């Protein structure tokens, strides 16, 4: 049985795409640009706000106007963190089970602390979650294992006895680099051209509820 369970945030623990979709299209409308579909936004949310700027404005990080568009998007998002954002279906049951068992759980994300803390509190998770590791707290982001190792140390768990759940290749790589058991969340923000089976995760789940059996078994059997 895992001694701790850690989650990526966007696309794994919570569905943030609806709020990002609204915010991006508001910013695009203000700039006189056409809207983006929910499907297009969902495919890029795990890659961060910079990817959404590229999607909506067709700008790269080195292009003139990119930094301004990014700042505008982030400011708009800060004002709409938890309007339509929610736990993925079935995730509440998983968290309730972890809480009932006394199993620590936390978040290791590439989402800045400026947004991560408020959205967790807005969803009523602020008092329940254990370690929350953001880029602000580490030297290197995922796929480097630093954040995951910090999270495990915070709860006194051996990495080999921890689960890390994520919806992106870098999540699985980070988990593997940390020596954790990895779970690929196929319900997350996967690009249509991706083959998550090529990530070589230890487990694959199509729905959050499929985590529940993993909480009862020897992860290394």
Domain-wise residue ranges, the chain: 4-15+85-216, 17-78
What CATH homologous superfamily does 4-15+85-216 map to?
HAD superfamily/HAD-like (3.40.50.1000)
Specify the pTM: 0.95
Angle between helices 66-78 and 17-30 (to 10 degrees): 130
Confidence band for 221, pLDDT divided at 50, 70 and 90: low
Q: What is the DSSP letter of 134?
A: -
Q: Supply 56's token pair.
A: 């909506």
Residue 75 falls in the annotated catalytic set? no
Q: Which of 8, 15, 19, 167 is catalytic?
A: 8
10 catalytic? Reply is yes
- Of the listed 10, 19, 167, 171, which one is catalytic? 10
Task: Express each pLDDT in 150-202 by its tens digit.
Answer: 999 999 999 999 999 999 999 999 999 999 999 999 999 998 788 999 999 99
Dump pLDDT digits (tens) for 53-107. 999 999 999 999 999 999 999 999 999 999 999 999 999 999 999 999 999 999 9
Q: What is the pLDDT of residues 100-149, one digit of tens each?
A: 999 999 999 999 999 999 999 999 999 999 999 999 999 999 999 999 99
């Amino acid at each position: 049985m895992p001694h701790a369970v850690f989650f990526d945030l966007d696309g794994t623990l919570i569905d943030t795409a609806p709020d990002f979709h609204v915010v991006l299209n508001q910013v695009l409308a203000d700039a006189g640009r056409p809207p983006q579909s929910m499907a297009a936004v969902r495919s890029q949310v795990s890659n961060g706000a910079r990817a959404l700027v590229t999607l909506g404005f067709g700008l790269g990080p080195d292009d003139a106007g990119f930094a301004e568009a990014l700042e505008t998007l982030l400011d708009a998002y800060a004002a709409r963190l938890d309007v339509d954002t929610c736990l993925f279906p079935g995730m509440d049951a998983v968290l309730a089970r972890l809480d009932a068992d006394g199993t620590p759980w936390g978040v290791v994300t590439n989402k800045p602390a400026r947004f991560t803390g408020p959205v967790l509190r807005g969803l009523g998770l602020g008092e329940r979650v254990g370690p929350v590791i953001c880029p602000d707290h580490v030297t290197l982001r995922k796929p480097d294992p630093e954040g995951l190792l910090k999270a495990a140390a915070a709860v006194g768990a051996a990495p080999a006895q921890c689960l890390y759940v994520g919806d992106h290749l870098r999540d699985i790589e980070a988990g593997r680099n940390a020596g954790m058991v990895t779970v690929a969340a196929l319900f997350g923000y996967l690009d249509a051209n991706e083959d998550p089976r090529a990530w070589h995760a230890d487990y694959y789940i199509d729905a959050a509820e499929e985590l529940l059996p993993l909480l009862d078994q020897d992860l290394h059997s």
